[in-house]
Chain A
Amino acid sequence: MLSRVKGIVWYELKMRLRSRLYWIIFILASGFSLFVPTPLNYPGPEDALRFYSDWWLAGQTFSALNLLMTLLAAFLVADRILRDSNLRIEEIIHSRPVSSMEYVIAKYMASMISLSLISIPAIIGVPIIKRLLLGVEMNLLPLLIAFLVMYIPSMVFVASLSLTGTTFARSAPAFYGVFGIIWYFDSVYFRVAESTFRGVFNFSGTSSFQAFFSATALGFTNDMYLISAGIAGLNLFLLIMVSGMMITALIYHEKMRRSATDYRIHIKKSRQ
């Protein structure tokens, strides 16, 4: 099973990296995440001071990256399964001994790897910018933690929602329309989690940001509602759990489409 999954992931990635859209989003996201946290955007003395904090800078970088990528990830990932149907490849895949679980998990993993690669310029670039502008070394740990608690959970959720939503709706544009509205309310309209409820239910990474990386959390001016680490943890748990449920539903959906389960139901009915 692992070898087959590995093979699908490899070729899915290859196709993804050959797509122009991927590189446009890669450049856009890299530029955005590198530009937003620089002192050019925060000219005040206190902001410059924050810039010295590796934790604040890491949080700000991934906050910017998340704002963009929670939207654009959907465009990169959504049609990965539907595309096989649109390209008329689905039947030759389904007539092979590849299980629905292998197929869906491999597609999902490839999506996650391609989305993760987009954060590399930020992880490498921000320390370089800081060194160039301030002449001080940046500790990489906050960036890696921000990557793990802000970027990855958001991408896990958006990727599973996009793959599942589009496959169920059988239409990528329809999904983009609905997702665009969800994204607007989650990441723009309610950008800052101002209550415990909002802290628990969001996929923009704002809970982790407010709990671990915000100026408030780091002891600067109180400019943001402070989310407790427990609430942020609950948010992460819910994102991962809901994503897991969506992927499980997708695997079941794909399995049903391949008819084997359906067949037994038919046989039963015909015998009655």
Chain B
Amino acid sequence: MNIEYMMRVADLNARYVDAIDADRLEAWPDFFRDDGHYRITTAENVAQGLPLSMVYTTSRAMMRDRVRALREANVYEGQRYRHVLGVPLIAAAEASGLRTRTNFMVARVMRTGETMLFATGCYEDRIVLDGPEAAHFAEKTVIIDSRQIDTLLAIPL
């Protein structure tokens, strides 16, 4: 067990969800490497070996475009997330990065105050420790346990 890896991954995870929950979406792409991949899919698709994603980005530019769309184009009722994460599991330490799994639960709070458990699942990530104190996602796959999304999925998970 490598405590330093666990702590650095936990720190990256914490900063990542803090930015999203605090509505600092513009910071969201900066948690990734420049050619970082981010996608959101369901456990059912993964179990069947099917490639479809709800969100599928293969670069930070595409991620910035998603943030732009949310800020300037898409219409959705005011809402915020609250992520709660589990302790990260370091599944493997490879030359290309750490393979990690982190459980998440996300509550969605509407402007009306209505709160629901919106999504649960697991982040399957490849994380590169690319500086003495730096870490970035090379790949992040958000695997939602349920195949059902309530109304819409606007903010990234």
Q: Do A and B come from one complex?
A: no
